[in-house]
Amino acid sequence: MNLTLKVWRQKNANDPGRFETYRARDIIADMSFLEMLDVVNEELIGKGEEPIAFDSDCREGICGTCSLVINGVAHGGQKATTACQLHMRHFNDGDTITIEPWRARSFPVVKDLIVDRVAFDRIIQAGGFVSVRTGGVPDANAIPIPKPDAELAMDAAQCIGCGACVAACKNASAMLFVAAKVSHLGLLPQGKVEKDRRVLNMVKAMDEAGFGNCTITGSCEAVCPKQISLDFIARMNRDYAVALLKRK
C-alpha cells in the first residue's frame, strides 16, 4: 500500500504546531500502525530529516503508552484495539490518514505526537496504596472474595492508563480512568479498608490536574481499548458521595 499521512508536528509545548504531509510507501497489510510509522521514520532519517516523535513501549496493547488520534478517533476506531495493535489491513491503498496527539489541557504536548500524562501518575499516587499491615504473602484462597466482586474488580483492573478516554471526551474528563482505578481497588477486601480516603483523594487529584467534568456522553467508553464500562463512573460517584457523608 502507498498512503498519504497528515501528521501533527510540534517542536515543544510552546510551538504552535502544524500538519505536515508525508508519503508512506510499500506498506504491508500485516504491519501494525506503529510499524508503518517506523518505516516512514527510517525514510526521514535516511534523508537527514527529523523523525516523527511518538510514544510506544509494549506494542502488545498492555502498557497504555501509545497515544495517537487516527482520523479523528483516539486509537483509530477499531473496537477494543490500541494504536499499537491496529493493523494496516484496516486501511486501503491510496488512503489519506490524519495522525494527531491526544488533545487535552491536562496532557500538554511534549513533542509531535507525544503528550505528558504525568497527571495520571499524580492521581494514582493520591490514592493507590494500602497502608495497613498486610503481613506475609497469604495463600491465594486465604481471603474469600465473592466471584462477582472478583470479576468486577478484574474488569476495572484492565484499564491500562492510556488516556484515550480523556482525548475522546469533549470535556477532557478523566472520570472513566479514575473510576476504573477506584473500583479495581475498592471492590476487593484488601483495598476496602481505605476505600473512602482513596476515592476522596483521587477525585481531588483529578480536579487539581484540570480534567473536566463528566456529562455522560459515553465517548470515553466508545474509544476505550479495554472496554471499561461507564457503570464504573456511577459506582465511583456513589462511593464518593458515601465517603463525603461519612467524613461530615
Footprint of ligand FES on this chain (CB under 6 A)? 56-59, 61-66, 82, 84, 160
Query: Which entry of ligand SF4, ligand FES, none binds 56, CB below 5 to 8 A by partner kind?
Result: ligand FES
Cell of 87: 493493523
CA gyration radius, the chain: 20
Q: Which is nearer to ligand SF4, 92 or 125 (CB)?
A: 125
Q: What are the Cα distances from residue 135, in Å, to 131, 139, 143, 184, 190?
A: 12, 12, 13, 21, 12
Query: Which entry of ligand FES, ligand SF4, none binds 183, CB below 5 to 8 A by partner kind?
Result: none
Q: Which is nearer to ligand SF4, 41 or 81 (CB)?
A: 81
Q: Which is nearer to ligand FES, 76 or 212 (CB)?
A: 76
Residues that bind ligand SF4 (CB under 6 A): 64, 159-165, 176-177, 180, 224-226, 228
Q: Which is nearer to ligand FES, 82 or 219 (CB)?
A: 82
Query: Which entry of ligand SF4, ligand FES, none binds 159, CB below 5 to 8 A by partner kind?
Result: ligand SF4
Q: Taking phi first (over 0 means left), then psi (-120 to 50 degrees means alpha), and beta for anything else, what does residue 79 get? A: beta
CA angle 86/228/90 to nearest 5° reads 15
Beta carbon of residue 16, minimum distance to ligand FES (angstroms, whole number): 28
Beta carbon of residue 84, minimum distance to ligand FES (angstroms, whole number): 3
Query: Which entry of ligand SF4, ligand FES, none binds 62, CB below 5 to 8 A by partner kind?
Result: ligand FES
Positive or negative: CA dihedral 220, 177, 73, 83? negative
Q: Which is nearer to ligand FES, 160 or 243 (CB)?
A: 160
What residues contact 214, with CB distance under 8 A and at least 6 apart?
Answer: 169, 171, 173, 175, 233
Positive or negative: CA dihedral 143, 149, 150, 154? negative
Q: Which is nearer to ligand SF4, 40 or 224 (CB)?
A: 224
In the chain, the amino acid numbered 33 is F
Place of cell 487529584: 205
Query: Which entry of ligand FES, ligand SF4, none binds 86, CB below 5 to 8 A by partner kind?
Result: none
Query: Which entry of ligand FES, ligand SF4, none binds 165, CB below 5 to 8 A by partner kind?
Result: ligand SF4
**Alpha-helix residue ranges (DSSP H) falling in the chain:** 33-46, 118-127, 147-157, 164-168, 175-186, 189-192, 195-208, 219-223, 231-247
Closest listed residue to residue 219, CA positions, set 179, 176, 184, 181: 176
Query: Which entry of ligand FES, ligand SF4, none binds 176, CB below 5 to 8 A by partner kind?
Result: ligand SF4
Beta carbon of residue 222, minimum distance to ligand FES (angstroms, whole number): 18
Beta carbon of residue 122, minimum distance to ligand FES (angstroms, whole number): 21
